[in-house]
Amino acid sequence: MINNPTEYWYRENSPNIYGAIWEGTERTDWTRTDKAANFEDPVPYVAGASSYGSPFDNLYPWSGVVRVTDSTAGELVAIPKFWYKWTKAGTALKLQIADGPVNGFCVSPAHMDRGDGKGERDIVYIGRYRCNTSNYKSKTGGTPRTSITRAAARSGIHALGSTYWQSDFAMRMTIWMLYLVEFADWNSQKTIGYGCGTDGAAQNVGYTDSMPYHTGTTQSSRETYGVGTQYRYIEGLWDNVSEWGDGCYYDSSGLNIIMNPSSFSDSSGGTYVCKPASGYSSAFAPATVSGFEWVIYPTSAIGDGTNYASDTWYRLGDSPCLFFGGNWVTNSQGPGLFCVSCQYASEFVNIGCRLMKLP
Residue 2 has pLDDT above 50, yes or no: no
- Cα separation, 166 vs 155, in Å, equals 8
Q: In sequence order, which ranges of the chain are alpha helices (DSSP H)?
A: 5-12, 150-158, 169-183, 188-191
Which among 314, 313, 320 is positioned nearest to 346, based on CA atoms? 320
- Cα separation, 205 vs 227, in Å, equals 9
Give residue 3's pLDDT band: very low, low, confident or very high (50, 70, 90).
Answer: very low
Secondary structure class of 190 (helix, strand, coil): helix
- What is the residue-wise DSSP string for 299-347? EE----SSSTT-SEEE--TT--EEEES--SS--SSS-STT-EEEE-TT-
Q: Identify the pLDDT of residue 223.
A: 96
- Cα separation, 120 vs 94, in Å, equals 25
Residue 181 has pLDDT above 50, yes or no: yes
- Cα separation, 350 vs 311, in Å, equals 18
> pLDDT tens-digit profile of 192-251?
999 988 778 899 999 999 999 999 999 999 999 999 999 999 999 999 999 999 999 999
How large is the average pLDDT for residues 128-148?
95
- Cα separation, 252 vs 155, in Å, equals 26
Q: Identify the pLDDT of residue 346.
A: 87
Secondary structure class of 156 (helix, strand, coil): helix
Residue 11 has pLDDT above 80, yes or no: no
CA dihedral 53, 214, 244, 170 (to 10 degrees): -60
SS3 content of the chain, % helix, strand, coil (to 5): 10, 30, 60
- Percentage of the chain exceeding pLDDT 90: 87
How large is the average pLDDT for residues 132-156?
95
Q: Identify the pLDDT of residue 12.
A: 54
How large is the average pLDDT for residues 187-195?
96
Q: What is the chain's mean pLDDT, rounded?
A: 94
Q: Identify the pLDDT of residue 224.
A: 95
- Cα separation, 78 vs 249, in Å, equals 26
Which among 203, 237, 199 is positioned nearest to 217, based on CA atoms? 237
- Cα separation, 292 vs 298, in Å, equals 15
- Cα separation, 221 vs 355, in Å, equals 29
pTM of the model: 0.95
Q: Identify the pLDDT of residue 219.
A: 97
CA dihedral 304, 179, 73, 131 (to 10 degrees): 10
> pLDDT tens-digit profile of 283-297?
999 999 999 999 999
Long-range contacts formed by 156-161: CB under 8 A, 24+ apart: 156/131, 156/353, 157/131, 157/353, 157/355, 160/72, 160/73, 160/136, 160/355, 161/72, 161/73
Which among 328, 307, 16 is positioned nearest to 181, based on CA atoms? 16
- Percentage of the chain exceeding pLDDT 70: 96
Characterize the bridge pairing of strands 92-98 and 255-257: unpaired
Which among 252, 256, 251, 297 is positioned nearest to 278, based on CA atoms? 297
Characterize the bridge pairing of strands 351-352 and 242-244: parallel
> pLDDT tens-digit profile of 57-107?
999 999 999 999 999 999 999 999 999 999 999 999 999 999 999 999 999
> pLDDT tens-digit profile of 319-343?
999 999 988 887 878 889 999 999 9
